[in-house]
């Protein structure tokens, strides 16, 4: 993809950098990543786990993008740290492509709550993490019934990595999460929280523990919007219990959509049919409202673009926000050497899915909390705004 040069100042202000649009730069960065040869200071990048793994947050003016970190030589992009400036306390860097300046970016600093620990000595950052700039995220159960079963495991998932390396807890208690959430809001201005979970071997599929965690957090910080994320439980009554506990929005993630791809890439999860997801989506929208239910669609797992667009069209008609993201290979997983989707493919998909979202009267900005509201792991919200 050709780069229009232009000044660093113009790029940082959100004008043209790739092709003719900044959104093209976001798609390019999320496809190619940034070399981690010179990892500059700032909030530590996310490695392993269940969220945006092996990523670093880069802020382009008001927009923050989670960008995959690549081994040296694997990306044309890299960062060059700028000298500290007392008038601009956030660490800053120049984003370079093939040694040419593209934009000045801010690197979110480590939040204040990371310095704290619970009374029994657990660092707060092992309980919940800063995501983007104002989002708090936690995997409430850092294990999955399928993860250690090669015949069942999702081939792209690294949920067990951070636990194995001692960077998190196997199970966060409601009290721990409430304590950290209160501190993060008070000290760092956190604006929303996302709670996800590995899937346990229980019919509620993690909803019971999520409900307990939400209730405790809402008691400590009543105004904090929260999204919960889990697989559709066997008893869809659990969705109402999540709502009653205080969850503001709900995520149930398809990830892949073609039956053959689902069976190959996530064989255990594929046992939950697309029809079962549709039943759960309909029940969830009736409870939470249009645009307050979302799902991940991961481009690059093997689905044809036409299949992703067709499913996105069906989802928006139901009132479900299709959060389209590019596949990011994660070290240590069976798909670690699988190439991410090309930027040109993502640009086309983003444009088509954004048009569907607008046509259905949905918007990432209308969500009360969650990944679509944050938008940092995808360029989709920028395409919504640009079209």
Higher pLDDT, 60 or 262: 262
Sign of CA dihedral 195, 199, 205, 209: negative
Q: For residue 163, what are its two tokens?
A: 């636990």
How far CA 159 is from CA of 52, 163, 198, 294, 331, in Å, comes to: 11, 8, 7, 21, 12
Q: Which domains does the chain have, with CATH numbers?
A: 8-106 (no CATH), 112-386 (3.20.20.70)
Sign of CA dihedral 339, 343, 345, 347: positive
Asked whether residue 84 carries a pLDDT value surpassing 50, the answer given is: yes
pLDDT at 385: 83
pLDDT at 38: 53
pLDDT tens digit sequence for 48-62: 444 555 688 899 988
pLDDT tens digit sequence for 339-382: 999 999 999 999 999 999 999 999 999 999 999 999 999 999 99
Place of tokens 């801010």: 106
CA dihedral 197, 159, 47, 104 (to 10 degrees): -50
Spatial separation of the C-alpha atoms in residues 175 and 127, rounded to whole Å: 11
How far does CA 343 lie from the centroid of its chain? 18
pLDDT at 1: 27
For residue 149, the SS3 value is coil
Asked whether residue 9 carries a pLDDT value surpassing 50, the answer given is: no
Question: What spatial distance separates the first Cα and last Cα of the chain, rounded to whole Å?
Answer: 20
Q: For residue 37, what are its two tokens?
A: 């040869």
pLDDT at 35: 87
Buried b (16+ CB within 10 A) or exposed e, 198-210: bbbeeebbbbbbb
List CB contacts of 140: < 8 A, sequence separation 6 or more. 171, 172, 177, 195, 196, 197, 206, 209, 210, 213
How far does CA 195 lie from the centroid of its chain? 11
pLDDT at 163: 86
């Amino acid at each position: 993809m050709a780069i229009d040069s232009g000044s660093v100042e113009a790029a940082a202000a959100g004008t043209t950098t790739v092709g003719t649009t900044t959104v093209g730069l976001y798609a390019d960065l999320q496809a190619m990543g940034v070399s981690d040869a010179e990892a500059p200071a700032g909030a530590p990048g996310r490695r392993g786990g269940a969220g945006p793994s092996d990523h670093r947050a880069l802020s382009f003016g008001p927009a923050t993008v989670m960008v995959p970190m690549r081994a040296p030589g694997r990306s044309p992009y890299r960062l060059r740290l700028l000298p500290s400036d007392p008038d601009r306390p956030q660490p800053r860097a120049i984003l370079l492509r093939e040694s040419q300046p593209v934009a000045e970016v801010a690197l979110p600093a480590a939040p204040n709550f990371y310095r704290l620990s619970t009374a029994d000595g657990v660092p707060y950052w092992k309980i919940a993490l800063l995501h983007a700039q104002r989002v708090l995220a936690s995997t409430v159960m850092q294990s999955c019934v399928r993860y250690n079963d090669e015949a069942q495991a999702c081939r792209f998932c690294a949920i067990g990595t951070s636990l194995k390396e001692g960077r998190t807890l196997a199970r966060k208690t409601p009290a721990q999460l409430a304590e950290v959430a209160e501190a993060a809001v008070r000290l760092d201005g956190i604006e929303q929280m996302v709670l996800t979970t590995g899937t346990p071997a229980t019919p509620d599929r993690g909803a019971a523990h999520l409900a307990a965690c939400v209730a405790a957090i809402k008691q400590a910080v009543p105004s904090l919007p929260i999204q919960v994320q889990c697989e559709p439980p066997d008893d869809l009554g659990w969705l109402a219990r999540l709502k009653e506990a205080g969850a503001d929005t709900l995520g149930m993630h398809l990830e892949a959509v073609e039956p053959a791809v689902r069976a190959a890439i996530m064989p255990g999860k594929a046992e939950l049919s697309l029809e079962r997801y549709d039943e759960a989506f309909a029940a969830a929208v009736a409870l939470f409202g249009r645009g307050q239910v979302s799902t991940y669609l991961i481009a690059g797992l093997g689905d044809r673009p036409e299949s992703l667009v067709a499913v996105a069209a069906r989802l928006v008609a139901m009132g479900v926000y299709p959060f389209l993201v590019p596949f990011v290979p994660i070290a240590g997983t069976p798909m670690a050497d699988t190439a991410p989707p090309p930027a040109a493919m993502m640009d086309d998909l983003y444009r088509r899915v954004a048009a569907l979202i607008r046509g259905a009267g949905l918007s990432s900005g209308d969500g009360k909390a969650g990944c679509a509201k944050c938008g940092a792991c995808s360029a989709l919200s920028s395409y919504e705004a640009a079209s």
